[in-house]
Amino acid sequence: MRRLTSLDSLALLIAFGFGACEPRGGSSGSAVVRDSLVARTSGSVYRVPADSEIPKDAVGASIRRGRALLVDTKDSLPDHVGNHLRCVSCHLDLGTRANGLSLIGVYSRFPQYRSRNGLVNLIEDRVNDCFERSMNGTVLPRDGRDMRDLISYMAFLSRGVAPPGMVLGANVSNMTPLRADPARGQTIFAETCVRCHGPNGEGTVLAKPLWGPHSFNIGAGMARLRTAAPFIRYNMPNDRAVVLTDQQAFDVAGFVLSHPRPDFKGKENDWPNGDPPPDVAYPTRASVIKAKPASAPRTPTPSRR
Ligand code: HEC
Ligand code: HEC
Q: Is residue 204 assigned to a domain?
A: no
- pLDDT score, position 284: 96
The answer to whether the CB of 210 is under 6 A from ligand 1 is no
Which ligand has the nearest atom to the CA of 135? 1
Maximum C-alpha span of the chain: 68
- State how many domains the chain has: 1
Q: What is the mean pLDDT of the chain?
A: 85
73 CB near ligand 2 (under 6 Å): no
Q: Are 230 and 249 in contact (CB under 8 A)?
A: yes
The preferred substitution site among 197, 206, 245, 255 for testing ligand 2, maximizing ligand atoms within 8 Å of CB, is 197
In a domain, 254, yes or no: no
Which residue range forms the structural domain that includes residue 119? 1-171
- Residue 114, classed as helix, strand or coil, is strand
**pLDDT value for 24:** 42
- Say if 216 falls within a structural domain: no
Name the DSSP class of 96: T
C-alpha 137/C-alpha 80 separation (Å) is 5
| 109 Cβ inside 6 Å of ligand 1 | yes
Mark out the alpha helices in 193-224 (DSSP H runs): 194-197
| DSSP H or E stretch at residue 94 | helix 92-95
Does ligand 1 lie within 6 Å of residue 21's CB atom?
no
Cα separation, 113 vs 125, in Å, equals 11
pLDDT at residue 291 in the model: 65
pLDDT at 26: 37
Distance CA 159, CA 174 (A): 24
* Cα–Cα distance for residue pair 271/20, rounded to 1 Å: 37
CA of 101 to the centre of ligand 1 (A): 7
Q: Is the CB of 208 under 6 A from ligand 2?
A: yes
| Regions of the chain with pLDDT less than 70 | 1-43, 172, 291-305
User: Which letter, b or e, does each residue of 91-107 get, where b requires 16 or more Cβ atoms within 10 Å of its Cβ?
Assistant: bbebbbbbbbbbbbbbb
The closest of 193, 158, 149 to 58, measured between CA atoms, is 149
Asked whether 73 lines ligand 1 (CB < 6 A), one says yes
CB 253 within 8 A of CB 232: yes
Nearest Cα residue to atom 2 of ligand 1:
90
In a domain, 160, yes or no: yes
- Closest Cα to atom 41, ligand 1: which residue? 87
Q: What is the pLDDT of residue 160?
A: 94
pLDDT over 70, % of the chain: 80
- Please check whether residue 192 lies inside any domain of the structure: no
- Please indicate, yes or no, if residue 179 is contained in any of the structural domains: no
Q: What is the CA radius of gyration of the chain?
A: 20
- Looking at residue 1, its pLDDT comes to 32
203-230 burial: b if 16+ Cβ within 10 Å, else e? beeebbbbbbebbbbbbbbbbbbbbbbb
| pLDDT at residue 200, rounded to an integer | 98
How high is the pLDDT of residue 174? 79
Residue 298: inside a domain: no
Burial-class residue 65 by CB neighbours within 10 Å (0-12, 13-18, 19+): middle
pLDDT (tens digit, 9 = 90+) per residue, 17-45?
Answer: 223 333 343 333 333 443 344 445 556 88
Per residue in 143-171, pLDDT tens? 999 999 999 999 999 999 999 999 999 97
In a domain, 257, yes or no: no
Q: Judge whether 221 and 133 are in contact, CB under 8 Å.
A: yes
**CATH code, domain carrying 32:** 1.10.760.10
